[in-house]
A = this chain, B = another copy of it.
Amino acid sequence: MKTYLDCIPCFYRQALDAARIAGTDEIKQKQIVDKISQLIPDFPLEASPPEMGREIYSLVGEISGVKDPFKEIKENSNRFALKLYPKLKQEIDSSEDRLLAAVKLSIIGNIIDYGAKNSLNVVEEIDHLFQGNFTINNENNSTTFKYNQFKESLNKVNNIIYLADNAGEVVFDRLLIEELVEELGEQVIYVVRGKPIINDALIEDALFCGINEITKIISSGSDAPGTLLEYCSPEFIRLYQKAELIISKGQGNYEALSEEDRPIFFLFRAKCPVIAEDVGCKVGDIVLVGR
Residues of A within 8 A of B (CB): 5-6, 8-10, 12-13, 16, 26, 29-30, 33-34, 37-38, 40-41, 45
Contact = CB atoms under 8 A, between A and B. Distances in A.
Contacts of A40: 33-34, 37
Contacts of A34: 40-41
Contacts of A9: 9-10, 12-13, 16
Given A5-B16, A5-B29, A37-B41, 11 more contacts: A5-B26, A5-B33, A8-B12, A8-B33, A9-B13, A9-B16, A30-B45, A33-B40, A34-B40, A37-B37, A38-B41
A107 to B, nearest CB: 28
B12 A30 contact: no
Contacts of A5: 16, 26, 29-30, 33
Nearest to A14: B9
A134 to B, nearest CB: 31
17 contacts: A5-B16, A5-B26, A6-B13, A6-B16, A8-B12, A8-B33, A9-B9, A9-B10, A9-B12, A9-B16, A12-B12, A26-B45, A33-B40, A34-B40, A34-B41, A37-B37, A37-B38
A40 B41 CA distance: 12
A5 B10 CA distance: 13
Contacts of A16: 5-6, 9
A64 to B, nearest CB: 14
A216 B6 CA distance: 42
Task: Name, among A10, A37, A38, the residue most crowded by chain B CB atoms within 10 Å (CB to CB).
Answer: A37
A5 to B, nearest CB: 5
A30 B43 CA distance: 10
A38 B40 CA distance: 9
A13 B8 CA distance: 8
A161 B12 CA distance: 38
A10 B6 CA distance: 11
A36 to B, nearest CB: 8
A10 to B, nearest CB: 7
A51 to B, nearest CB: 16
A47 to B, nearest CB: 13
Nearest to A16: B5
Contacts of A30: 5, 45
